[in-house]
Amino acid sequence: MLDRSAFYPGGGGQPPDHGVLLWGGVQTRIVDARKGDDLYLVPAEGDPLPDVGATVRGAVEDPRRTALMRTHSGLHVLCGVVFRDFGALVTGGNMEPLTARMDFNLETVPAGFREAVEAACNTELRADRQIVVRELPRDDAFQIPDIIRTATNLVPEDVKEVRIVHIVGLDQQADGGTHVASTAQVGRIRVVKVENKGKGFRRLRIAIDEL
């Protein structure tokens, strides 16, 4: 457990960062992280552990983190497009680096749905929309209609400041995850599959490709 750390602990469907701690000429590989009251970094089995009170440097594994940022921002683009064009709300989601699924409440799947969603997502990526992260007092945050749509029941009562991720012109959500700075940095979105999981329950599987 560190007094401060840049490792993302996981949450909101985004898995934790991996990386290393460097100290005393050795390194401890970090293969997982967990957020309770504190942030716990999970070392690789058998790696040396620093003593309590030791000063360490942390390094986040960049290829994994960057892939997760692109994937997470890509999911917000998908969410924005499916709501705008089909009026469907998100009911769940999960991601791994460059692959993800998102669940929607959508009564019927129109003909050409998969192709239409993919094309609209990639139009938004090419438009290079800015992605802005800011914190707002709770009452101000819940004045934003989009936030009410996605998060009213997800943000605990005692949270006073709500972190907002805004894809300018497309989507705003209360969100704790890590994101790229603009939609062009995501790459391309491929809608791999649309699954029917029951009445009104559609699962979209996507992959993030290079431009």
Binding region for Zn ion (CB under 5 A): 12, 175, 177
Task: Count CB neighbours of 158 within 10 A.
Answer: 6
Tell me whether strands 19-23 and 89-96 are parallel, antiparallel or unpaired: unpaired
- For Zn ion, the closer of residues 21 and 75 by Cβ is 75
- Tell me the residue nearest to Zn ion as measured from the CB: 175
Pick the closest to residue 186 from 53, 60, 78 (CA basis). 78
CA–CA separation, 125 vs 122, rounded Å? Answer: 5
Centroid of chain to Cα 115: 23
Closest distance to Zn ion from the beta carbon of 14 (Å): 7
Closest distance to Zn ion from the beta carbon of 31 (Å): 23
Closest distance to Zn ion from the beta carbon of 179 (Å): 8
Burial (Cβ within 10 Å: 0-12, 13-18, ≥19) of residue 143: exposed
- For Zn ion, the closer of residues 33 and 164 by Cβ is 164
- For Zn ion, the closer of residues 20 and 100 by Cβ is 100
Closest distance to Zn ion from the beta carbon of 12 (Å): 5
- For Zn ion, the closer of residues 58 and 177 by Cβ is 177
